Structure 1
Amino acid sequence: MAMIERAQKQDVSEILSLQKLAYVSEAEIYNNYNIMPLKEDLATAEQSFEDNIVLKYVEEGRIVGSVRAYEKDGECFINKLMVHPEYRNRGIAQKLMEGIEKQFKGVTYKLFTGSRSTKNIALYEKLGYKGYKKEKLDVEDTVFLFMMK
């Protein structure tokens, strides 16, 4: 049975492997395989577990989805939403988003995604997010769409 639960430190390696697999499709959109999610190392991922609530979606005993978020000054910053390519289009990303939002009450939710990532944007809009700016970050060449709810 599939379930969403809080990820633990021992899950970091499996989630990082999933991330590197899941974000290849983003890299393909931009023809840039030097994006941050593909470059993240184990130490950085471990630190992320210290700074974020990390949820995992477990199906058939394996982690096939994950999302992270943290709160600061009344804003919840959602990041690293991912689903294994073989498990996409089954509602897992939506369930993860709903699950992470439940961890933070009475806040403004914020996230960003690649400005050409039409499937991601459509999902976030379906969940009530609205774009409020496009901007390139110093860490990579992608132009991101920043969204909030």
Structure 2
Amino acid sequence: MGMSVTIDNATDQDAEQILKLQYLCFQPEAELYGDYGIEPLTQTLAELRTEVRETCVLVARLGAEVVGSVRGTVDADGTACIGRLIVHPRMQRHGLGGRLLAAIEERLAAERDAARYRLFTGHRSAANLRLYRRLGYAPVSTEEVSRHLSMITLEKEAPPSLAASA
């Protein structure tokens, strides 16, 4: 036993494990909002492989098993859009989500000149909102998607030392 979780860039070979984990992790969200047609549950393996090649995708590994992942892109104005933060249910509540988020923030600032970070979650996703607020994100807008779903957008600025070191 005694293996530690490592965080690294995802590879094409990780895509299938990421997709299976994503499907597992987004089931509670789909149930919470009564919508099993959400994009994380309908994404194809080919689409995910394209994301792995074209964007910044990190994985957390416990040995050879992918137990977490997160993705991000940076637009022309330096805003990093972070999404699909997932952690295997048996690994939740041990700080791995925070580690993944910190790792993608660092990577996007250093490699892609991110000046600020943006992410979003549903209004009923209390655990996500707690995590993001604890890590310095503040709500900046709410968009009503349907009668049952409002998406909350949260942002935080990149520390000057990260943006400057790029």
TM bin, normalised by shorter chain, reads over 0.9
The aligned runs of 1:1-149 (5 Å cut-off) are: 1-73=4-76, 74-105=78-109, 106-136=114-144, 142-149=149-156
The one-character-per-residue Cα deviations of 1:61-81 (angstroms, maximum 9, x if unpaired) are 200000000111211110110
CA contact (8 A) 1:65 1:83 kept: yes
Identity of aligned residues (%): 35
- The structure 1 segments of at least 4 consecutive aligned residues displaced by more than 3 Å after TM superposition are none
Q: Deviations over 1:96-129 (max 9, x none)?
A: 0000011122511001111110100010000100
**Partner SS state of residue 103, structure 1:** helix
| Cα distance between partner residues in 2 of 1:142 and 1:82 | 20
Aligned residues: 147
Q: Distance in 1 between matches of 2:119 and 2:41?
A: 18
* 1:48 to partner: Cα distance: 1.3
Structure 2 Cα separation of the partners of residues 24 and 37 of structure 1: 9
Aligned-pair CA distance for 1:4:
0.5
**Structure-2 separation of matches of 1:71 and 1:65:** 21
Q: Which amino acid aligns with 2:81?
A: F
Query: Which protein shows a greater Rg?
Result: 2
Moved more, 43-52 or 54-63: 43-52
- Partner Cα separation in structure 2 for residue 137 and residue 5 of structure 1: 34
